[in-house]
Amino acid sequence: MSMSPIPKTAPFAEEEIDLLNRVVGTASPVQRAWLAGFLAGLDASGATLVPHPAAPARPAEPLTIVYASESGNSEKLAGDLAKAARKNGLKPTLIDMADLEMSALTAAKRLVVIAATWGEGDPPARAVRAYNELMGEGAPRLDGIEFGVLALGDTAYAEFCAIGRKIDERLTALGGKRVVDRVDCDLDFTEPAARWIGDAVKVLTPPNAGGRVIEVDFGAKPAASPSTDIFEAEIIEHVDLNSSRSDKETIHLALSFEGGAPAYEPGDSLDLYPENDPGYVDELLKVAGLTGDDKLRAEFIKSRDVTTLSLKTVETYAASTGHQYVKALLAEGQAREWIAGRHLIDLISTFPIALDAEKLRALTRPLAPRAYSIASSRRELGDEAHLLISAVRYESHGRARKGVASNFVAERLKRGGRVRVKLKPNKHFALPASDKDIIMVGPGTGIAPFRAFVQERRAAQATGRSWLFFGDRTFTHDFLYQLDWQEALKDGALTRMDVAFSRDTPEKIYVQHKLWDRRADLIEWLDGGAYFYVCGDAKAMAKDVRTALVRAYADVKALSPEAAEQAVATLEREKRFLQDTY
């Protein structure tokens, strides 16, 4: 019978005592003396024992994480998920949907997709090809693959989280096994996304995963917490770049950062934290019967989204007030149509009912920052950052409307005032090596990042050529940063510029027409390795520009429409066709 020298009372777990007894119990006196001396010596030297795994290491279980992202939120969350998965003994593989091949899906055992929705229910621009393949008839079967989808979106859009929802449905249709229910996140996604990630990692970690399951405390510091800080900047220039006779107002806003600007690169944006129009808030409180509640007024101006009207808002209104007509609007399926072009104030003034502060607050969500492309380079300007902001103003349903952030900037920010911003990096819209040629297409405020590109290339004495396409309404009143471009053409920072002013000629000319006119040179530049950038309006311009490029390939190289489409798709795969559109 073997001896059991380690008593049950020793400060070890029962299995550890058994293990120790198995070694120490059978050891010879010499071996025991050596072990005692060794441990005593270790303690005396202050060295620590290298912990060994309790069981032989197993290969880590794989987890495939795919993200479809445009402005980086889904990408950041995918990174958070990978980190949490790794801690739990899984082996995550992160794939940008831009680079996704269907074979990576069929090879997956467990799959998470984090997908944002853009445009009007569209996939992020970079994800379009793989998304279409997944949705298309040629998509592979994914029988038995365990999956979960996290959807990012904005309830202000009719097609809320449409892409996440469609991917979730598609993976099921292809035979996948949904093991984590989808969550659709609004702009304030930090907490729900962190919770979902925590749950998903738990569910997707098999009991025999290589590592030990670690409870990741997302509550204390959310996984999706911003990695960059909020900076308070001083406004040192506030200039309307349109002439006083223009229909538009586009503000050049120069910000100065005491103690250093955020470490931005050309192509990055700043998230700007706006405040609401006090006049609008007063009107809203009046129709809600809450005039005089100064605390609520201050809170609404500073931190609540008091304009957006979503289906969710209408449902909350119907539930909390019991308003018959609003209930009927929902029951008859007309609410979706009714909210188009309307704001919260329309709901309350059209269907008035007594509201208290709590009920009104429950109809709002936190006020989200707005992104603006940085129009300057730190290499040329040091601790400044410039933004170019077009005031959004229009009329709908008989009411004059003003965009929250752009009018906060245009109407209420002044030189000498202060504003809060946060860096929003975009490594997918960066300059190439300085000897490469670049072609930049940026009508309207889409010109902003290209001012940063040109400044950066001047400061870096880049040898690659730069060609800019700009467009707006009129040459005389809307030529944004005209003097900068003239100077850049003179000093060589800009090689070439083409402009399209849509209201200067009887028939409207846009940047895509200029691309077509210059197609021979354009294709020659691209064949020589040039990078092609598009920034600005996503609704029409970006699509028209891409179509013009496909047609240019077809015409100049005598290609079939399919082969010309392939030529542009190749540019996209090579990351030489880059978009930042909104």
The residue ranges that bind ligand FMN (CB under 6 A) are 69-75, 116-121, 124, 152-154, 157, 159-162, 538, 582
Interface with ligand FAD (CB under 6 A), residue from 74, 313, 406, 466: 406
Place of tokens 């109809």: 363
In the complex, the smallest distance separating the C-beta of residue 153 from ligand FAD, rounded to whole angstroms, is: 13
Q: How many residues does the chain have?
A: 582
Q: Per CB under 6 A, does 396 bind ligand FAD?
A: yes
Q: Which residue's structure tokens are 């503000």?
A: 251
Closer of 371 and 500 to ligand FAD (Cβ): 371
The count of chain residues that interact with ligand FAD, using the rule CB under 6 A, is 23
Q: Which is nearer to ligand FAD, 346 or 580 (CB)?
A: 580
| 97 lines the binding site for ligand FAD (CB under 6 A) | no
Strands 230-240 and 250-256 come out as antiparallel
Distance from C-alpha of 237 to C-alpha of 49, rounded to nearest angstrom:
61
Q: Which stretch binds ligand FAD (CB under 6 A): 42-50, 195-203, 383-391, 558-566?
A: 383-391
DSSP structural state of residue 141 = P
The item of ligand FAD, ligand FMN, none sharing an interface with residue 160, based on CB under 5 to 8 Å by kind, is: ligand FMN
Q: Which of 161, 270, 405, 413 forms a contact with ligand FAD (CB under 6 A)?
A: 405
> Taking the complex as a whole, how short is the minimal distance between the CB of residue 443 and ligand FAD, in angstroms?
12
Q: Is residue 71 near ligand FAD by the rule CB under 6 A? A: yes
At residue 2, the 3 state secondary structure works out as: coil
Count CB atoms within 10 A of the CB of residue 390: 20
Residue 119 site contact among ligand FMN, ligand FAD, none (CB < 5 to 8 Å, cut-off depends on kind): ligand FMN
Question: Is residue 310 a contact residue for ligand FAD (CB under 6 A)?
Answer: no
Cα distances (Å, whole numbers) of residue 377 to 240, 338, 450, 454 = 21, 44, 10, 8
Q: Please choose which of ligand FAD, ligand FMN, none residue 64 contacts, taking the beta carbon within 5 to 8 angstroms, the exact cut-off set by kind.
A: none
Counting contacts by CB under 6 A, is residue 117 touching ligand FAD? no
The span from the CA of 41 to the CA of 191, in Å, is 49
The site partner of 437 among ligand FAD, ligand FMN, none (C-beta below 5 to 8 Å per kind) is none
Question: Quick one: 112 exposed, middle or buried, by C-beta within 10 A (0-12, 13-18, 19+)?
Answer: buried
Within positions 333 to 362, which residues make up the interface with ligand FAD, using CB under 6 A?
341
Residue with tokens 């071996």: 31
Pick one of ligand FMN, ligand FAD, none as the site partner of residue 116 (Cβ within 5 to 8 A by kind): ligand FMN
Long-range contacts of 355-363, Cβ-Cβ distance < 8 Å, separation of 24 or more? 355/288, 355/289, 355/290, 355/321, 356/290, 357/290, 357/293, 357/296, 359/320, 359/321, 360/288, 360/290, 360/296, 361/296, 361/299, 361/304, 362/316, 362/320, 363/313, 363/316, 363/317
Beta bridge partners of residue 535, listed in sequence order = 580
CB 306 within 8 A of CB 344: yes
Cα 396 from Cα 309, distance rounded (Å): 14
Nearer to ligand FAD, 399 or 557 (CB): 399
Task: List the single partner that 538 binds among ligand FMN, ligand FAD, none, CB under 5 to 8 Å by kind.
Answer: ligand FMN
**Is 455 one of the binding residues for ligand FAD (CB under 6 A)?**
no
**Nearer of residues 329 and 371 to ligand FAD, judged by Cβ:** 371
φ, ψ of residue 70 in degrees (nearest 5): -120, -50
Minimum Å gap between C-beta 120 and ligand FMN is 5
Interaction site with ligand FAD (CB under 6 A): 71, 269, 307, 341, 370-373, 388-390, 392, 394, 396, 403-407, 445, 448, 580, 582
